[in-house]
Amino acid sequence: MSIRLILLATPDLAYPSGSTVFVAQFAAGLARRGHEVHVLCRSVPEGDDQGGRLTYHSLEMPLNHPVQLDPPVSSRDLGRAIRAYAHAASDLLAPRTILHSMYATATAMAGAYVARRASIPHVVTTFGRDLGVGRTDERYAAMVAKTLASATHVVAANAVVAEQAAPMLRKNKSHLTQIPMGVDDSLFRDLPGFVESRNRIGIDPSRSVVLVVQSAFNEDKRLETVLEALAELDDPEALLVVVGRDDSRGRHRERSLRRLAAGHGVSDRILWAGQQPHSQLPFYYGAADVLVDARATSSFSSCILEAMWASVPVVATAASAGSGTVPPDVLAGVVPTDDAARLGKALSSILHDKRRSRELGRAGRQWIRVNGSANSIGSVVEAYEKVYKRALCSGA
């Protein structure tokens, strides 16, 4: 059964973050299965139109992300973004159309408005960050409460997010489904070698490397804790490689982090690699001895799955490990959030014993090869197809 899908996506889909890469791959996957997919965004990612079944619509809007705190967004600009989405979606309506909003904030506000006026189904996906941002900005809390309550179907990225979303639903819990954010594992099937990766990035093969992959230096990613842990490592030559960029106004976050690194005496042990195309990440995983994810929220972390595909051991916080995506006992280490001393000890243990590090990396790859099919793009597309069929049957 072919459907017509209007996907209200993150505005800047050309930005290489976990969620934007997922949306582009997800939309292409739906189109490959014969569905007509229209993606509403501001910046369009690279890719083909899947035989004319995938169309990107570039909108003018003053918004970079549906969950944007820094730089802050005025209520006027939020309204302008919602209206841009709503007008574009209204123009695309046709029989057997489903609206699907990524994040339960501005995108979903537009989707809810159009769905109500046109009496069509509206699916909302929450990745977790949108649910927590309301503690900082009550406008987001209000949008989340309204859109989750009115949605035909809500999809949560993991068990923790589903538990947080459930009390906000007006309808019964059968309208809540847990589907992970998919990962394109094909990128990690033919990985570059260790020496090739180190040479590509320009890292001495003899140095230990701790890798952090963050699309943006948000406070909830807790890069401060990683910098403090770096100073605690037994190996004084260990190098921290940070992939990502600062999107804050005036790049004040990066300046603050660099000052913090200087205060800990580790400035010369950090490679600020900047934002990297997703296609280049295998080289960074290939060069790493361990990946660390120190986030304080239970939002989905695609870098954990990607590192496991690349046979890189992962040390994560309890919040990140508790997202339900990967069992904590599969990871190389789980530490309390904001505990730099414990994080430093966990990283030192792995870096000190290279043989154990390789064993942990191989064990992680074996686990995801056996159990990770639910996180593949193909499986995620099929799971959403079931949601769409239920939404069409139940109506708006």
Domain boundaries, the chain: 4-182+376-394, 185-373
**Four-way CATH pick for 185-373: 3.40.50.300, 3.90.1010.10, 3.40.50.2300, 3.40.50.2000:** 3.40.50.2000
- Which pTM does this prediction carry? 0.85
Segment 267-294 mean pLDDT: 94
In this predicted structure, which of 220-229, 309-318, 368-377 has the lowest mean pLDDT? Answer: 368-377
Q: Which residue has the higher pLDDT, 326 or 8?
A: 8
Give the integer Cα–Cα distance in Å for 244 and 213: 6
What sign for the dihedral angle of Cα 169, 170, 176, 181?
negative
Q: Which residue has the higher pLDDT, 111 or 219?
A: 111
Give the integer Cα–Cα distance in Å for 200 and 186: 21
pLDDT digits (tens, 9 = 90+) for 251-268: 888 899 999 999 999 999
In this predicted structure, which of 102-106, 172-176, 389-393 has the lowest mean pLDDT? Answer: 172-176
Instruction: Show the tokens assigned to 23.
Output: 């949306």
Q: Which residue has the higher pLDDT, 131 or 248?
A: 131
Res 20 pLDDT > 80: yes
pLDDT band at 48 (very low <50, low <70, confident <90, very high): confident
The arrangement of secondary structure in 4-182+376-394, i.e. its CATH architecture, is: 3-Layer(aba) Sandwich (3.40)
For residue 1, the number of C-alpha atoms closer than 13 Å in the C-beta half-sphere is 13
Please enumerate in sequence order all residues whose Cβ is within 8 A of that of 93, keeping only pairs 6 or more positions apart, or say none. Answer: 6, 114, 118, 120
Instruction: Show the tokens assigned to 265.
Output: 């005496």
In this predicted structure, which of 66-70, 279-283, 317-321, 382-386 has the lowest mean pLDDT? Answer: 66-70
Res 16 pLDDT > 80: no
Indicate left, alpha or beta for 40 from its phi (over 0: left) and psi (-120 to 50: alpha).
Answer: beta
Q: What pLDDT, on the 0 to 100 scale, is given for residue 322?
A: 61
Helix 354-371 with 340-352: angle, nearest 10 deg: 100
pLDDT digits (tens, 9 = 90+) for 143-171: 999 999 999 999 998 888 899 999 999 76
pLDDT band at 324 (very low <50, low <70, confident <90, very high): low
**Average pLDDT, whole number, for the chain?**
90
Res 136 pLDDT > 60: yes
pLDDT band at 108 (very low <50, low <70, confident <90, very high): very high
pLDDT digits (tens, 9 = 90+) for 68-92: 776 788 999 999 999 999 999 999 9
Same fold, 4-182+376-394 and 185-373: yes
Q: Which residue has the higher pLDDT, 93 or 318?
A: 93
pLDDT digits (tens, 9 = 90+) for 202-247: 999 999 999 999 877 888 889 999 999 999 998 999 999 999 988 7
Q: What pLDDT, on the 0 to 100 scale, is given for residue 125?
A: 96
Strand partners, 43: 12
pLDDT band at 45 (very low <50, low <70, confident <90, very high): confident
Task: Give the pairing of strands 153-156 and 122-126.
Answer: parallel
Q: What pLDDT, on the 0 to 100 scale, is given for residue 285?
A: 95
CA distances (Å), 278 to each of 46, 154, 199, 335, in order? 12, 28, 19, 27
